[in-house]
Amino acid sequence: MNESAPDEYDSPWKEAVERYFPEFMAFYFPDAANLIDWNQAYTFLDQELRAVVRDATLGKRFVDKLVQVMLLDGVEQWVYIHVEVQGSKQARFAKRMFTYNYRIFDRYDRPVASLAVLADEHPGWKPDCFGYSVLGSETSIRFPVAKITDYHDRLEALLTEHNPFAIVTAAHILTQQTRGDDRFRFQAKWRLIRLLYERGWDKQRVIDLFQVIDWMMRLPKELERQLWHNIHELEEHGKMQYISSVERIGLEKGLEKGLEKGLEKGMEKGKLEAEQNTLRRQISRRFKTLPAWADERIAQAGQSELEQWLDNIIDAPTIEAVFETDNSTH
């Protein structure tokens, strides 16, 4: 019996895109990446995106990123990155890309570049446009698409590249190819982990990419224990202490639930702080000031209040109006 948990793709993809966005662009969309000034800061605008495309009828979104970048020509633009990780075709995908694009443009009056990575297992499914015409009027969008299945015959080449998204892509492909074959997956996962050490990358990058691989390529407990034994020996021989940590040993000794709860609480706290800082930034940008009373309310707010206020700021005429609550929440 296969004891492995179901394969997970969305969390590792989110983590990788956020941590290594320039490398993500360079790997999948090199032409676009070459037009961006990477010496300037770029900003993820998750809350702003959520406020624009919150219509649930558009379908579940696995990884959606709105990123503000500076182009080499000095013009500030929005870049909308849509990474959809799914195992089946989605009939309304192209329409959703079209809808997101015009909603973001309508909200911010800025050019929007829509980009998509398709990580499903259907080689022939490559939607890259949507449009319609009526009474002589035409409206349409065409967007660049990167297809993971196009990399299947380049798997060995991927393992020699130094862009971290070559490893992410290889891990995704190998996860699909080894589904239902734990021994094959064990060998593939162990090979990818060895490559992380051979690259000569810094410790944090090794840890980050290991987490992506570990998230995707789930194994039964027995094979997980064997894998960690191999990692421990590799680090001992190489005199490097990267991912074979005290925390992982604790997991293997039965502290999994406690650590998971601690991690979950830490993630919730981090998300809360991120939303607080986003709201502070948006108020300062919109009203050119952040009164002490407003900062205090933000510091004491819970998740639901922050989400309400982040929605409110889109149209609020005053700072006071930002903190108003819908009647439905009373």
Strands (E) located in 148-234: none
Query: Is residue 245 a contact partner of residue 281, using CB atoms and an 8 Å limit?
Result: no
Name the β-bridge partners of 113: 79
How high is the mean pLDDT of the chain?
A: 81
Amino acid 107: pLDDT: 85
CB 115 within 8 A of CB 81: yes
Lowest average pLDDT, out of 179-183, 199-203, 326-330, goes to 326-330
Q: Is 245 left (phi over 0), alpha (psi -120 to 50) or beta?
A: beta
Residue 103 has pLDDT above 70, yes or no: yes
CA–chain centroid gap for 134, Å, is 37
* pLDDT given for residue 247 in this prediction: 44
Which residues, other chains included, contact 295 with Cβ-Cβ below 8 Å and sequence gap of 6+? 280
Please report how the helices 10-19 and 203-216 are oriented relative to each other, as an axis angle in degrees rounded to 10.
Answer: 160
Model confidence band, residue 146 (pLDDT cutoffs 50, 70, 90): very high
CA distance 307 to 329: 12
Amino acid 60: pLDDT: 47
Beta bridge partners of 147: 118
Chain position carrying tokens 């997970």: 8
**How many angstroms separate the first and last alpha carbons of the chain?**
50
Instruction: For 64-107, give the DSSP string.
Output: EEEEEEEBTTS-EEEEEEEEE--SS--TTHHHHHHHHHHHHHHH
Residue 268 half-sphere exposure, CB side, CA atoms within 13 Å? 9
Mean pLDDT on 221-236: 88
Looking only at Cα atoms, what is the longest distance across the chain?
A: 72
**CA 36, 40, 41 angle in degrees (round to 5)?**
105
pLDDT higher than 60, residue 326: no
Q: How far apart are CA 117 and CA 169, in angstroms?
A: 11
Place of tokens 């020996």: 233
Nearest residue to 80 via CA among 21, 133, 9, 122: 21
Which stretch of 67-81, 185-199, 238-252, 265-279 has the lowest confidence by average pLDDT? Answer: 238-252
Q: How confident is the model at residue 85 (pLDDT cuts 50, 70, 90)?
A: low
Give the residue with greater pLDDT, 31 vs 80: 31
Fill in the amino acid letter for 49: L
Report whether 43 contacts 67 (CB < 8 A): yes
Give whichever of 40-54, 62-76, 203-217, 278-292 has the largest mean pLDDT: 203-217
- State what percent of residues in the chain have pLDDT above 90: 31
Lowest-pLDDT range, 202-211, 259-268, 312-321? 259-268
In which band, very low, low, confident or very high, does the pLDDT at 154 lie, cut at 50, 70 and 90?
very high
